[in-house]
Structure 1
Amino acid sequence: MKINHLTSAEENLMKLFWKLDTFYLKDIMEQHPEPKPHQNTVSTYLKILVEKGYLSTEKEGRIFKYKTALPLEEYKKFILSELAAHFFNGSGKEIVDFLLSEDFLTEEDLQNSYNLKIELNTTKKKEPELEYAEEVLKTKKSKKGKEKKKKKKEQNKA
C-alpha cells in the first residue's frame, strides 16, 4: 500500500485518531482541544483521510464509524524513511550520528536501552575560532602597549 503525505493539519488530527483507534465524529469533537474546529471542517478532513487510506469507515444507520486503517508505527516508518532519503543519504548511521551530535541521543542511551557494549567515537562540537573578533575586541591598552614596544624597538635600532 502506498502511503501518502499528510499536511500538518491532517497529521495533527491523525495523532488524535491513533489514540482513539475507532471513533465517531462526535467523539472527535469531544476529544479535540480548544479551539475546536467546526464540525464541517472535521468532516472534510475525515473524508480526505479516508481517500488517502489513513481511515476506513463503517456505516451504522445514518452515521459513520471511523477506524484507523494505517497504524502509527507504519506512518513512523514512512516518515523516517522519507527523512533518511532526503536528508541523510538513506543512511541510518548518518541519522544516529546526527542524533548524537545534537544531543537528542547520548552514548548512555544507546548502552542502557540497547545493551550495547561498544565505545562510540563522538566528535565534540568545535568552538568557533574568533581570530577577528579577538583582534577587534582587544582593549586600547594592549594596542598602546604594542605601539610603545614598536617605538622602543625602533629607538634601539637607531
Structure 2
Amino acid sequence: MKRLTAKEEEIMRVFWQYGPMFVRELLTFYKEPKPHYNTVSTLVRGLEEKGFVGYKAYGNTYQYYALVTEKAYKRSALNDVVAQYYDNSFVNVVSSFIEEEGMPLDELKALIAKIESKKTDK
C-alpha cells in the first residue's frame, strides 16, 4: 500500500471519522486560514488515484468516501517500518523499545500478556 503525505493523511482521518462527504464539507474541518477549495480538491483526487478514496457522482459534484480502512492503513504502515528499519523482525522492534527507548518492564509484561491472550483466542 502506498504511503500518504501528511496532508493526505489529514484528509483520510476526516473520512475515517466522519464518513462520506463533498470537498466543501471537508473544508469545514480545517482551521483558519482554510486552504483553497482547489487545493483540497486536488489532494482528494490524488487520494482517488492512489486507491484510497472512491466517489459517487451527483450531477457534476462528487461525494468521496474511504476505500481503505484506518486499521488496514496503520497495519500497512507498521509493516513498512518494521521491514525498512528492523529487518522484518518484531523482536528487533521490541528490543529497540527496551534498549533505546527505555520501555518499562510493566509495559513489556502487558505486551507479552496481550500476545499470549491472542494466541489462546485462536
TM-score (norm 2): 0.81
How many residue pairs match? The answer is 114
Aligned-residue offset at 1:15: 2.2
Residues 91-138 of structure 1, C-alpha deviation per residue, up to 9 Å, x if partnerless?
0011112223314x433124346636x9xxxxxxxxxxxxxxxxxxxx
Structure number with higher relative contact order (C-alpha < 8 Å, ≥ 6 residues apart): 2
Residues 21-78 of structure 1, C-alpha deviation per residue, up to 9 Å, x if partnerless?
2111122111122331100000001111001000000012332111100001111111
Q: Where does 1:116-135 land on structure 2 (aligned, <5 Å)?
A: none
Mark the runs of 5 or more structure 2 residues left unpaired by the alignment: 117-122
**For residue 93 of structure 1, what is the amino acid of its counterpart?**
V
**For residue 85 of structure 1, what is the amino acid of its counterpart?**
A
Are 2:66 and 1:74 equivalent residues in the alignment?
A: no
1:99 aligned partner: 97
Q: Where does 1:5-154 land on structure 2 (aligned, <5 Å)?
A: 5-101=3-99, 102-103=101-102, 105-112=103-110, 115=113
TM-score (norm 1): 0.64
* Percent of residue pairs identical: 27
Q: Distance in 2 between matches of 1:107 and 1:27?
A: 46
Aligned-residue RMSD, C-alpha: 2.1
